Amino acid sequence: MTITTRTIAAPVVPTRSALTPLGLDAVTITDGFWNERQRVNGTSTLPHIEHWLEREGWLGNFDRAAAGTLPEGRRGREFSDSEIYKYLEAVAWEIGRLGGDDALDTRFRAVVDRVAAAQEADGYLNTRFGRPGQGARWSDLEWGHELYCLGHLFQAAVARERTSPGADDGLLRIATRAADLICEVFGATGIQSVCGHAEVEVGLAELARVTGERRYLELASLFIERRGTGVLADIEWGRSYFQDDVPIREAVALRGHAVRANYLAAGAADVAVEHGDAGLLDALRSQWDRTIARRTYVTGGQGSHHQDEAFGEDFELPSDRAYSETCAGIASIMFSWRLLLEAPDVRYADHIERVLYNVLATSPSATGDTFFYANTLHQRTPGVSSPPDEVSPRASSSERAPWFDVACCPPNVARTMASLASLIATSSDAGVQLHQFASSTIRTTVLGGLPFVAEVETDYPRSGVVRVRIVEAPTDAVELSIRVPSWADDGRLVVRTADGVEVEDRAVEPGYAAVSRSFAVGDVVELAFGVRPRITQPDPRVDAIRGSVAIERGPEVYCVESLDLPGGDDTLSRVEIDEGVVPVEADGGRLTVALRARPVTDGSWPYAEAFASTEPGEAFTASIAPYHSWAQRGPSTMRIWIPTHHA
């Protein structure tokens, strides 16, 4: 049995969905915040990753597999194959983003050839298992990551097929041979278990969507339904670590390892959509709601625990040791986007934007060759710079590092950056929806196949003015919907004709502001809303940040960095803010804010009957910057949440 396929150059293409994703063939980011990051990603990050995959020998593992010399000389962790696949996926999107690139295409094919040579006759593909001297195939489902690696292989093949259809490089065939094998091994009468790290589910679902092969989808469904019934071993951190504690339909929130939890939820959303399974979709929506309301940092980051890279309990979100893994942010975007395609609720797009600006943009340095693995909200001691040519053994490095022993984040950043245009807009029967703001060109069809072309122009997030200029549109009315973020003030939607005549001007509330109009070429729809700095308080149940506020402006969370303070680290450790202070806009996205340095006494014991000094500390003015830009000027200390002074 087959399912319907749709040719769209995007990572997620349901056979049918409320909103149709617009892919890299339809949306191009042309300027601004994300264009610059995409440029760095293509010119710096991708070569950087290829260099390290080669240098660390993880690509070489495939050559050794092909030469039959494994396990001797195998390098890297059990999941290192997946980094090659994520790299391939990133390159596939990058080629799509650029509308083709011969040199990149040649590099892509060279890697695919090395992968192809390592695949076994029956389709099995993994450099860590199955040979004499290695663990048997599927013998360590808890930790072996074999299916996880294949999930990334499938996503890479999907990306390639959607951006370079008919490329004839063999990658899709590698993927389907492996998928056919696991359908046999793990199907209804096969091994009744799952992979410790969810990921194969999203890969299988999309491979089904690209090939039309329904059994890939049904295998994903089996994996989704099996998990939660204790099919994996109990471990120190409990089965919740791999979401094997509670069946997905019964869970109330995401829990356990934050990347696994989100990948699983994303895969479950794919299955639910294809099966028209409203019950499963409802369960996922309600888990998303609770996770956002109680288990997410103000940055959009998820996962409080270092030990198991896991969610904490509800409201357990200390800034100290906030883990907030880059990959968990990316995984959370994947889950949210799937829900958004089924229901245009502004909260999904708001959350995606929050993660994009405060997690995805935070991980890579401006030069794209060092990365945060974890994204803490409070750095108490100046980090130690990672040597530019050394692998960091530490996920929790307080400075960005060029590479990690566990290097999931850099290629995950790369594939997300390269495919970012696919998160900007969607279409529906009625028209086009704009979810994220970036100067871009949108070329699609509406009303059953009529061309619709628009140019988006904005300097967002510096301002909240977004202009959509119609380049081509049908004569019949088309509905253009533009997201008004939930934090936006004074939203106003203005429609002008090419010659500047205002035909509409109205206030709009957070949500999607829609204009339905028979657009003429040159018409401009302008959404404008305030991006004034906001002082944000936490829910009192988030105990660890009680009595503190964060400063936000538009989609960006700000932080105080010691390098911007008189007195540096010492001042940062004592910084406080008066209630009612209003930060002032400064150059380059910075804000100027009045702060104080609280007087402290160094005692011999930090708990006493009378401690809190009520004297206001010394006042000073500081320049603060968006969190994503921190730690790029050498070791420093930093905090997002600033204690308030009760005068």
Q: How far is the CB of 516 from a copy of itself (least distance, A)?
A: 28
Specify the residue, 53 or 310, whose C-beta has the smaller distance to a copy of itself. 310
CA 102 to chain centre: 28
> Could you tell me the smallest distance in angstroms from the CB atom of residue 14 to a copy of itself?
25
In the bound complex, what is the minimum distance in angstroms from residue 404's beta carbon to a copy of itself? 10
Q: Which two tokens stand for residue 438?
A: 């970036």
Residue 282 CB, shortest distance to a copy of itself, in Å, is: 16
Residue whose CB is less far from a copy of itself, 499 or 602? 602
The minimum distance between CB 29 and a copy of itself, in angstroms, equals 27
Q: Which is nearer to a copy of itself, 85 or 373 (CB)?
A: 373
Closest CB to a copy of itself among residues 42, 382: 382
Q: Is 568 exposed, middle or buried (0-12, 13-18, 19+ CB in 10 A)?
A: middle
Task: Copy the structure tokens of residue 540.
Answer: 């009192």
Sign of CA dihedral 33, 635, 606, 599: negative
Q: 75 or 574, CB closer to a copy of itself? A: 574
In terms of CB distance, is 77 or 137 closer to a copy of itself?
77
Q: Cα 354–585–361 angle (5° rounding)?
A: 30
What is d(CA 228, CA 246) in angstroms, rounded to the nearest whole number? 4
The three state secondary structure string of 381-436 is: CCCCCCCCCCEECCCCCCCCECEECCCCHHHHHHHHHHCHHHHCEEECCCEEEECC
What is the rounded distance in angstroms from the CA atom of residue 94 to the CA atom of residue 159?
10
Do residues 75 and 403 touch, judged by C-beta distance below 8 A? no
Instruction: Using the minimum distance from each CB to a copy of itself, give the nearer residue, 164 or 637.
Output: 637
Q: How far is CA 307 from CA 262, 373, 395, in A?
A: 18, 14, 11
Amino acid at 290: R
**Closest separation between CB of residue 153 and a copy of itself, Å?**
27
Any idea what the Cα angle at residue 103 is, between residues 100 and 109, rounded to 5°? Answer: 90
Q: How far apart are CA 348 and CA 284, in angstroms?
A: 13
Rounded-to-integer distance, Cα 456 and Cα 31, Å: 10
Return the number of the residue (547 or 635) whose C-beta is nearest a copy of itself.
547
**Residue with smaller CB distance to a copy of itself, 43 or 286:** 286
Residues that bind a copy of itself (CB under 8 A): 234-238, 289, 292-294, 296, 298, 304-307, 312-316, 318-321, 347, 378, 380-381, 393-395, 405, 486, 534-548, 550, 573-574, 598, 600, 602-613, 641, 643, 646
Cβ–Cβ < 8 Å for 74, 3: no
- Shortest spacing between CB 543 and a copy of itself, in angstroms: 7
* Least Å from the CB of residue 444 to a copy of itself: 31
Smallest gap from Cβ 142 to a copy of itself, in A, equals 13
Please give the backbone phi and psi of residue 186, each rounded to the nearest 5 degrees, phi first.
-110, 10
